[in-house]
Amino acid sequence: MHAHSLPQRLFAGAWLLACLGLAMEAWHYQAAFSYEPVGPRAYPLLCLGLMVIGLAWLILRPAPRREDDEAPLEGALLRKVVACVALLLVYAGLFEPLGFILSSALVGSFIALLYGGRPAYSVITCSLLAVGLFLLFDHALDVPLPRGVLDALPL
């Protein structure tokens, strides 16, 4: 195992434990009232489940064969990670006022650009993904998501 691999695995392990703790809290959450048939815990449990799968892979994956197979978390990569966390904080602030579709498409596009995505592909892909996820949760799963400025549109 490379020297920079151990801290990344330890961080992934700590984050995995946090996700499992949050999942236990979400599993037992009971709202006083609920509009959706699957309850208020479906979205957080799905997100936490996906994070747990990704974190388990980060912990269990084989060590890189060559030193340059895995970049150390420093310099430009560290700045990207910090920018990504800042964008997620912006996302949390825009989620209600702009709504799920616009805030997800906007922040997703910036994250894609941050990691080298081509502008047109980033915007188109993130916009389609945001609309698709909105339709999945709002219509198929009956989990209402905020529409924000798109509230007047018949979605």
How does DSSP assign 36-100, residue by residue? STT-TTHHHHHHHHHHHHHHHHHHHSPPPSSGGGS--S-HHHHHHHHHHHHHHHHHHHHHHHH-H
Q: Do 12 and 40 lie in a common domain? A: yes
Question: 126 or 35: which carries more pLDDT confidence?
Answer: 126
Q: Is the pTM of this model over 0.75?
A: no
Domains in the chain: how many in total? 2
Q: What is the pLDDT of residue 33?
A: 57
Within this chain, do residues 10 and 51 fall inside the same structural domain, yes or no?
yes
Instruction: Give buried/exposed letters for 27-44 (b at 16+ CB in 10 A, else e).
Output: eeeeeeeeeeeeeebbbe
Structural domain range at position 6: 1-70
51 and 95 both lie in a single domain: no
What pLDDT, on a 0 to 100 scale, did the predictor assign at position 155? 66
Same domain, 6 and 45: yes
Q: Tell me the per-residue pLDDT of 20-55, one tens digit each, with 9 for 90 and over.
A: 988 888 887 766 555 556 666 777 788 888 999 999
Question: What average pLDDT score do residues 80-108 get?
Answer: 91
The string of pLDDT tens digits covering residues 46-79 is: 888 899 999 999 888 877 666 655 666 678 878 8
Same domain, 91 and 60: no
